[in-house]
Amino acid sequence: MSFRLTLSAALAVSLGAMAPLYAADGDPPAKAKAVEAAQSKAVNPFLAPSPLPYQFPQFDKIRNEHYRPAFEQGMAEGRREIEAIANNPEPASFDNTIVALERSEQLLGRVSRVFFAQAGTNTNDEMQKIQTELAPKLSAHNDQTVLNGKLFARVKAVYDARDTLGLDAESKRLVERYHTDFVRAGAKLSDADKTKLKAMNAELASLSTRFSQNLLKETNASAIVVDKREQLKGLADDAIAAAGEAAKKRELEGKFVIPLMNTSGQPALASLEDRTLRQRIMQASLNRSSHGGEFDNRAIIASVVKLRAERAALLGYANHAAYVLEDETAGSIDAVNKLLGQLAPPAVANAQAEAADIQKVIDKDGGKFKVEAADWAYYTEKVRKEKFDLDAEQLRPYFEMNNVIENGVFFAAHKLYGLSFKERKDLPVYLPDIRVFEVFEENGNPLALFIVDYYARSNKRGGAWANAYVAQSGLFGTKPVIANQLNIPKPPDGEPTLMTYDEVNTAFHEFGHALHGMFSNVKYPFFAGTSVPRDFVEYPSQVNEMWMTWPEILGNYAKHYKTGEPLPQALLDKVKASEKFNQGFATTEYLGAALLDQAWHQITAKQAPDADGVLAFEAAALKKAGVDFAPVPPRYRTTYFSHIMGGYSAGYYAYIWSEVLDADSVEWFKAHGGLTRENGDHFRKTLLSRGGSEDAMVLFKNFSGGEPYVQPLLERRGLTATKK
């Protein structure tokens, strides 16, 4: 486990980095420590590699009380390992410095990957306390490594000699990336500035943790309580039943609870006929963590953006965005601003045209109001029905979850890559709903383990994501253990889980990340799986979305959960006809968030507002960017924009940046015969298997044969012409 991957786990907490638990006078006496380690090893499942297949985590043995001692011992061992590398009397070499760093901090890596994954998907009060304690300590621990002058001198010595060492391409790139990461982390700063940087990193880590915990609590507290079933008119029966179950869990017998998702828009808004209830839901969503009280995030945001700007200046950058983008494929603020600036005017113009269509329906229905954010989804469905004779609810009976996973997502991977899947019920899971599949190559060789965690929970953060519990590495001989997380409302016991069209798309998307991790074929853990630039990591997963509606795949899984009848061709034709429908809204709400992210991170510390000015700054930024269209609020407002508290700060543009590559690649697949093993093997060999071992854009060119072309994206989103 390299320190880089330890840091990656900590990035779930902060951009900062990690802190010693023991006082400055050193570790506990060696004898006492040895006794403690021997006693702990017998009961703490983290202190040795898991004996389960693939080093699968021992979820049946892991308890809250195991985390602290494992982190303590992991950091203590890590400090000793790093000091041994830094003080090695032998001249610096690739093996005794760079490879030694890759081999360091194994224990810390094991506990970090499990803890931060569980903190996102299955947290509890004790874990949140631990997370709060750990954030500054882990930050300081990482700083001890990257700001260690002796260690950096050795890294630099290897870096300076890299062309004379006879290294293979991956090893040479590893040297270069270590040197870059150390420099960007502040290794060249003066001792006084390093002290300042450590304090900033520790505070940022703590603030980020507080933000995420506030948001989880606020989202749960903001769930909408509905007194009478008739107020839920328009919702599907299974959604009403789920709302009733949610109320029972809160001891609100006879009532109904509509929980909030992490985005501004909420699923129920598309169906609810009661406008007052729709407005309550939208207002609660938009106001999260911004209206006072213990879960308010405005002060945290103000502190974070100021500290990030100060840190960027200390490191020699104009602002935090300049710091982040230098190491992405975009390369500069100008490149990102140019792309977002090109997309915003036609997106908003299309959204305004869509609003006009909605207003016509409102007026036709006798509504005496102008369309608002709370109305958009509901009336969009009416417009969809009018234009395409399509009701999105008609699709859900054909998207039963198990069918989607096994006969859709997995089937596509089988056709494209030759993979097969076998459920493993012998491995321990952290909740009964979790499923584990072993993944095999076409020749029967084992490839990976895949964990499916699709249901929403009150102790699970919003959104969807993928994570690695074990990363592939030739150095250690490990095979990947990858998880996908979604947030699908769980139906009452005995009822089928029927997914929306968007949820099915998300399942294919997240499995694209999983494939990126499973197919990883690199030597060094530094480069494993999705260890690529942030504005490249979404690209392979977006490509995988294309197979959701590929006829051969769709025909294999889109079957009515009761009758087994396939999705009618007429209904499918309507879906295809409506693909560009509402893209003005979708692009505008995304761009609103992406532009907000850049606005917050392209300022200096002096320009950062205080807590009371956060919402005014947000409003001014949206107006300046030309995306302040009230019926289409940003996908995330500042106070619940979790992405920018972690690895996506100044990087939320990555989705649209990656989509340029994605749209171009979809055209490549179509031009080369579509769903074929030859195409899948080419994508795997040239790109998916390489992780971060080569420059990201070189990988893209190796796959596609040329530079990315933006026109397919514009056509996909209907932005080639401004609607009048």
Is the CB of residue 521 less than 8 Å from the CB of residue 686? no
Place of tokens 């702990």: 40
Lookup: tokens for 558: 């889109």
- How many other CB atoms are found less than 10 A from the CB of residue 320? 27
Lookup: tokens for 413: 């991977």
Residue 53 backbone zone (phi > 0: left; psi -120 to 50: alpha; other: beta)? beta
Catalytic residue numbers read 510
- How many other CB atoms are found less than 10 A from the CB of residue 364? 10
Is the CB of residue 692 less than 8 Å from the CB of residue 531? yes
Amino acid identity, position 194: K
Amino acid identity, position 549: T
Lookup: tokens for 330: 């975009």
CA distance 421 to 398: 22
CA distance 111 to 46: 6
Backbone angles phi, psi at 469, to 5 degrees: -80, -30
Lookup: tokens for 243: 């709302």
Taking alpha carbons only, the member of 554, 242, 239 closest to residue 398 is 554
Quote the DSSP letter at residue 484.
E
Query: Where does residue 664 rank: exposed (0-12), middle (13-18), buried (19+ CB within 10 A)?
Result: buried
Which SS3 state, helix, strand or coil, does residue 350 take?
Answer: helix
Q: Where are the alpha helices (DSSP H) in 222-332?
A: 237-249, 275-286, 298-314, 320-325
Lookup: tokens for 310: 């100060």
Lookup: tokens for 263: 């985005």
Query: Where does residue 372 rank: exposed (0-12), middle (13-18), buried (19+ CB within 10 A)?
Result: middle
Which SS3 state, helix, strand or coil, does residue 473 take?
Answer: strand
Which SS3 state, helix, strand or coil, does residue 628 take?
Answer: coil
- How many other CB atoms are found less than 10 A from the CB of residue 253? 8
Q: Which long-range contacts (CB under 8 A, 24 or more apart) does 82-90 make?
A: 82/3, 82/144, 82/145, 82/148, 82/151, 85/151, 85/154, 86/148, 86/150, 86/151, 86/154, 87/150, 88/154
CA distance 481 to 472: 8
Rounded alpha-carbon distances, angstroms, from residue 464 to 56, 159, 461, 467? 22, 38, 9, 10
CA distance 678 to 29: 60
The interaxial angle of helices 169-184 and 149-160, nearest 10 deg, is 140
CA angle at 636 for the pair 635 and 637, rounded to the nearest 5°? 125
Q: Transcribe 402-471 into DSSP letters.
A: HHHIIIIIHHHHHHHH--EEEE--SS--SSTT-EEEEEE-TTS-EEEEEEEEEE--TTS-SS-EEEEEE-
3-state DSSP helix/strand/coil percent for the chain, to nearest 5?
60, 5, 35
Bridge partners of 438, per DSSP, are 422, 449
Taking alpha carbons only, the member of 423, 407, 426 closest to residue 415 is 407
Is the CB of residue 376 less than 8 Å from the CB of residue 358? yes
